[in-house]
Amino acid sequence: MRIYNTLTRRKEEFVPLEEGKVKMYACGITVSGEAHIGHGYQALIYDIMRKYLQKLGYDVTYARNYTDVDDKIIAKSHETGIPADKYAAMMIVKINEVMREFDVDDPTIWLKATENIGNIISFVQELIDKGHAYPTENGDVYFDVSSFPDYGMLSRRTVEEMYAGVRIENDEEKRAPADFALWKAAKPGEIFWESPWGKGRPGWHIECSTMNRVAFGDQIDIHGGGRDLIFPHHENEIAQTQALTGKQFAKYWTHNGLIKVNGQKMSKSLGNSLLLEDLLKQYTNEAIKFALLQYSYRQDINITDNLFPDAEKHLTNFYTVLDAVEKKYGYGSVGNKAIDDAFNEAMSDDFNTALAISRLFSLFKTMQQKLDAGDASCAEDACQIRKTYSLIGLFKKKSADYLAEVAAKSPKPAAGDFAIPADIQALADQRWAARKERNWALADQIRSELDSKGYVIKDSKEGYTISRKS
């Protein structure tokens, strides 16, 4: 089993800290809003990792958290008039319901920040006692980045890049701009807990370090999350945990890619978030999974008009073949071991679901040929595909039930909901060519034209992205 380790930037043979056992933690959802497709994807990926490691024979303890107190939740509390704790609890119930519909299993251990306030306070106090953190007169506590020489080991950023990559809090009581909050003094009207430094609440980063320590002790095997968490969140987790324990925090750091819509990062500010609940009204959970798992988990996924409809079409075709095989030969009880071996080979190479799924096309083509030829061994293939691919959430339903579910789903989005029209794309390409030729006047003219047509264009070193105005 090989896993890509963000810490070393290479694939490594997986060797757990304790033989036969795996301690695994993934950063969960901040419950300031409903679950979007990015939340569902991340939960799916780490559920699959856990299940495959279990298939290999490991005893896996998988912990996952809900961040149920932070700035965004407090802002939502003020906006809705619902107390922050009640708002967070309400959202957790709703998110859990959506995840059940998406068919992602619960972790071994659920953790919540608000249930670990005492542990967080103790963790912060230990960091102060060891000289790695300092309280301020107004009741905040900051981690002293200069006290941890290895800061930047995960993200491999220089101090200058760190300053450019994250919003620096403007606090005159901080010793250095890169120092980050472990405890935040409560502002009027905010939720708070009593602490040695006054009324306040935990900073975001300290929550995960503390909950990890509560669940597993000083060290874990695998720590995961989205790639956007590498800096500052996971970098800060490493700093505060290793400063406290003097031990390597996580042996393997894994990060899934991000969801994009038409090439642009999905975000509420851009108005292009795709809620998981809405997608499940239009597509089966298996079709959504098939669409997402066609990619390596470390890749970004670009959602276009065709992504989910094409996945649903492929799965419908596959289920139709299964239906025909099972009607003629019944449900097989003996599988085709070669199918499972090929799946394991793919998954043992850094959980390569993309390769595993790509093999389905030839498997079903062969199964159809066997069926047409009256070869009863197609039932063995069908049996094995169901057994093997259920691990990644596919072919878990009776064929007739799946086909009926597809037919019953609500109408799909109209063409163009995600895609950029060809004439708009041509204008954007023309503008980019003008920029490369340093024809700034033409580039600005085309930008204005795109703006008038309702499109926003953003440039970067690598190219540009274009999206509809939110």
- In sequence order, which residues have a C-beta less than 8 Å from that of residue 145 and are 6 or more positions away? 151, 176, 178, 179, 180, 239
| Residue 414 pLDDT level (bands cut at 50, 70, 90) | very low
- Residue 40 pLDDT greater than 90, yes or no: yes
For the segment 117-145, the average pLDDT, to the nearest whole number, is 97
Q: Give the pLDDT confidence score for residue 169 in this predicted structure.
A: 55
For the segment 143-171, the average pLDDT, to the nearest whole number, is 77
Decide if pLDDT at 9 tops 70. Answer: yes
* CA-based torsion, 207, 212, 214, 219: positive or negative: negative
Helix 285-293 crosses helix 353-372 at what angle (to 10 degrees)?
120
Distance CA 142, CA 124 (A): 9
Question: What confidence score (pLDDT) does residue 443 get?
Answer: 86
Q: Which residues contact 268 (CB under 8 A, 6 or more apart)?
A: 33
Phi–psi pair at 132, nearest 5 degrees: -100, -5
- 253-285 pLDDT, tens digit each: 999 999 988 776 676 555 667 999 999 999 999
- Give the predicted TM-score (pTM) of the model: 0.85
pLDDT for the residue numbered 126 = 98
Higher local confidence (pLDDT), 48 or 305:
48
181-203 mean pLDDT: 96
| pLDDT score of 166 more than 80 | no
Using the predicted structure, report yes or no on whether residue 412 has a pLDDT greater than 70.
no
DSSP reduced 3-state for 260: strand
Q: What is the mean pLDDT of residues 168-177?
A: 74
- How high is the pLDDT of residue 416? 46
pLDDT tens digit sequence for 41-93 = 999 999 999 999 999 999 999 999 999 999 999 999 999 999 999 999 999 99
Nearest Cα to 21, choosing from 221, 165, 190? 221
End-to-end, the C-alpha distance of the chain in Å comes to 44
User: Which range is least confidently modeled, 43-57, 274-288, 338-352, 452-466?
Assistant: 452-466
Q: Which residue has the higher pLDDT, 199 or 421?
A: 199
Predicted confidence at residue 411, as pLDDT, reads 62
* pLDDT band, residue 419 (cuts 50/70/90): low
Helix axes 378-389, 337-347, angle to 10 degrees: 30
pLDDT (0 to 100) of residue 333: 82
Q: Which of 309, 234, 359, 292 is closest to 102 using CA atoms?
A: 292
Strands 133-135 and 141-143: what pairing? antiparallel
State residue 462's pLDDT score: 56
How much is the average pLDDT of 352-358? 97
- 47 CB neighbour count, 10 Å cutoff: 23
Contact partners, residue 445, CB within 8 Å, separation at least 6? none
Residue-level length of the chain: 470
Q: What is the mean pLDDT of residues 347-371?
A: 97
pLDDT at residue 212 is higher than 80: yes
Mean pLDDT of the chain: 91
Distance CA 28, CA 43 (A): 8
pLDDT reported for residue 415: 43
Q: What is the rounded average pLDDT of the residues 369-384?
A: 96
Q: Where are the alpha helices (DSSP H) in 235-377?
A: 235-245, 276-282, 285-293, 307-329, 337-347, 353-372
